[in-house]
A and B are shown apart, each in its own frame.
Chain A
């Protein structure tokens, strides 16, 4: 923050600004270092998730066994009739809600409204925990009732199980880590740790949280819908 403030001339915009930034002697990114580092981490995480999803694309294309019908496997019974993908739809909505509360938390953080920031971040963490809980329910239903295993399942291509457990498991791990991260930051805000430092930390935490939501957008589309 102080380094960016030290720049006396307003930095150029567009491509000129890009060349200026990337050829700068001292600082390429005019953001707090923590935020730049979070972005770099998220780029590397993007590579991991893309490798998983590309592996999924490859096994799904190469397997000659039929792909299990996701829409029916992930259906829930409501009033005696199966509703396709119901749990997954609810999980998606929960995660989007949590992304919204997180975005508001970032905004209130920069306004200096500590109380609202902490409440909104706690709400985000609670929604995240709800998501993980629903995922645990989904996993146990698939393992116990539908007999899906990482090495096989009764419906079709055995790769279905390995992709499902690996991709949703890795995503669920990210959500769980995010819940812990959020609560840890809330505790530090409450303790007054950022009163002098400023509240960029909320935006950095938010970047991670939105990324988790972003990954789910792709998993929802490629694994559950297509």
Chain B
């Protein structure tokens, strides 16, 4: 990590172009995860890796954190690091709440979400039924 001089953050243009292209490519990768419908642990791993790579390059190169002095870097990255603790606690607590709802409150474990296609089909059916009922009267 080199110190930033008084002239501000001046770097060769090439590095910006390289990172720019890299961000496009990694974004395309994370979109591909959804497009090719990768599921399960693989989906989580890939999406989170691509996310961290993108975030890291944006902070390090585009926001110049790589060239800033350690005093500034720790000021900006240290406090948000503590948030990981909050996220961890909330995940543990969330897990507990969910299992309590299933185990003691009888919530349905096998409930399935409706897809937009199913929803619109059911709407059309309803309208069809109403139309038929109106005709019968």
Contact = CB atoms under 8 A, between A and B. Distances in A.
A50 B94 contact: no
Given A72-B117, A155-B116, A225-B47, A13 B58 contact: no
Interface in A192-224: 198-200, 203, 206-207, 210-211, 213-214, 217-218, 220-221, 224
A198 B8 contact: yes
A155 B119 contact: yes
A36 interface: yes
B7 interface: yes
Interface residues of A, number: 80
Interface in B1-45: 1-4, 6-11, 13, 16-17, 19-20, 23-24, 27, 30-31, 33-35, 37, 43-44
B30 A207 contact: no
A191 interface: no
B127 interface: no
Contact of A62 (B101, B117, B119): B101
Given A64-B107, A155-B113, A18 B119 contact: no
Nearest to B65: A39
A37 to B, nearest CB: 12
Interface residues of B, number: 71
Contact of A18 (B44, B71, B83): B71
Nearest to B46: A225
Contacts of B4: 30-31
A17 B3 contact: yes
B111 A61 contact: no
Contacts of B94: 57-58, 60-62
A185 interface: no
Interface string B98-133: 100110000111011111110100000000000000
Interface stretch (A92-100, A132-140, A166-174, A176-184): A92-100
A104 interface: yes
Nearest to B61: A103
B75 A39 contact: yes
B38 to A, nearest CB: 10
A69 interface: yes
Contact of A203 (B16, B34, B47, B64): B64
Interface string A47-76: 100100010011011111111110111010
A21 B1 CA distance: 15
Interface of A: 1, 4-5, 10-11, 13-15, 17-18, 21-22, 28-32, 36, 39-40, 42-43, 46-47, 50, 54, 57-58, 60-69, 71-73, 75, 83-85, 89, 92-93, 96, 99-100, 102-104, 106-107, 110-111, 146, 154-157, 198-200, 203, 206-207, 210-211, 213-214, 217-218, 220-221, 224-226
Given A69-B115, A84-B35, A93-B24, 5 more contacts: A17-B69, A64-B111, A93-B27, A199-B8, A217-B51
In the A-B complex, the 3 residue pairs with the closest CB atoms: A61-B94, A21-B71, A64-B107
10 contacts: A43-B76, A46-B79, A50-B83, A64-B111, A65-B111, A99-B20, A100-B16, A107-B11, A156-B114, A224-B34
